[in-house]
Amino acid sequence: MSNHSPLQHLALVSESPGLGFAELARVSAALQKQAMRDIGPAWGPRATVDSFATLEDVPIDYWPIIIRDDIEVNDASGIHLDNSGHPFALAQFSKGWSLTASHEMAEMLCDPLGNTVRAGPSPMPGQQRVEFLVEVCDPSEAAEFAYSVNGVLVSDFYTPHYFDPKPVVGVRYSFTGAINKPRQVLRGGYLSWHDPVTDHWFQQTFFGAAPEFRDLGVLAQSAGSIRRQIYQRTPKAFTTRVPQGSMALMASGGIGMASESGGPRAQRLRAHIDTLVAKK
């Protein structure tokens, strides 16, 4: 981990009546440890994760992860920015909500813009070298591959070695070791990449009895980030992460500072979220 990496601040806030502040604080402490102890040394970002009682209390330079009851998005279309260009995430409150929050935190830290790619050999026969979208939790996102921090369930994530050309004994490809070779997709997960020859995006998914390949076609630059367009084409990704169908919306885009207090920002962000949920 670079000592010169900027320190990013994340906020965990509940808008679910069923999720009290004590549990929120316990999970935020576990996510803080995961970010600094596990994700940071592997990928470089340094982050704090703090819990707040209300969205109005969240400082303007924090990226919020908001837990709510009313997030039932079936087409994975919710990749958003607030009015100031900050990333934010939504996670539905359920038995496994900490796993969803951990997943979104890890991917927010490793690729906040949703456009980072890494080159490597394609897993699809007939293709050569391709560009993989960096979504560090997707290939091993299912609950069976998660691990515990302070007794809290958090998401496995792959390391930069995941894109190595060949497997090497002793190399860690995901934090838990569940992934044991480069570019492996475990049951309940998926992997997305761009083929420069055809200009199409492809996926390997493992949502059924066996892995399969999908041709997603061409992604338009004017249609938002790569992550946004991939999520729109991968609805099952939101039903395989955690028990009881918890779902999440991941923000992606520019990182900006707003010259306003937390209250007005919270009001606008909440109104924006309500509009998204109304479109489900």
68-82, 94-108, 157-171: which has the highest mean pLDDT?
157-171
Q: What is the 8-class DSSP label of residue 212?
A: E
Query: What local confidence, expressed as pLDDT, does residue 272 receive?
Result: 67
Q: What percent of the chain has pLDDT over 90?
A: 62
| pLDDT reported for residue 22 | 97
Confidence band of 279 (pLDDT split at 50, 70, 90): low
pLDDT tens figures, 229-254: 887 788 655 444 444 333 333 333 33
| Predicted TM-score (pTM) of this structure | 0.83
Residue 246 dihedral angles phi and psi, to the nearest 5°: -60, 145
CA distance 142 to 149: 17
Domain ranges for the chain: 7-278
Name which of 74-88, 197-211, 236-250 the model is least confident about.
Answer: 236-250
pLDDT tens, position by position, 136-167: 999 999 999 999 999 999 999 999 999 999 99
Q: Which of 107, 115, 85 has its CA nearest to residue 225?
A: 115
Question: How sure is the predictor about 87, in pLDDT bands with cuts at 50, 70 and 90?
Answer: confident
- Give 48: exposed, middle or buried? Use CB within 10 Å, 0-12, 13-18, 19+: middle
Distances (CA, A) of 232 to 92, 104, 115, 225: 18, 16, 15, 11
- The mean per-residue pLDDT over the stretch 219-235 comes to 81
Give how far Cα 43 sits from Cα of 84, 131, 155, Å. 26, 18, 15
Give the single-character DSSP code of 182: T
**Nearest residue to 260 via CA among 71, 45, 85, 97:** 85
Give the 3-state secondary structure percentages of the chain, helix then strand then coil, rounded to 5: 30, 25, 45
pLDDT at 232: 77
The two structure tokens encoding residue 53? 């009682």
Between 108 and 185, the more confident residue is 185
Report whether pLDDT(82) > 70: no
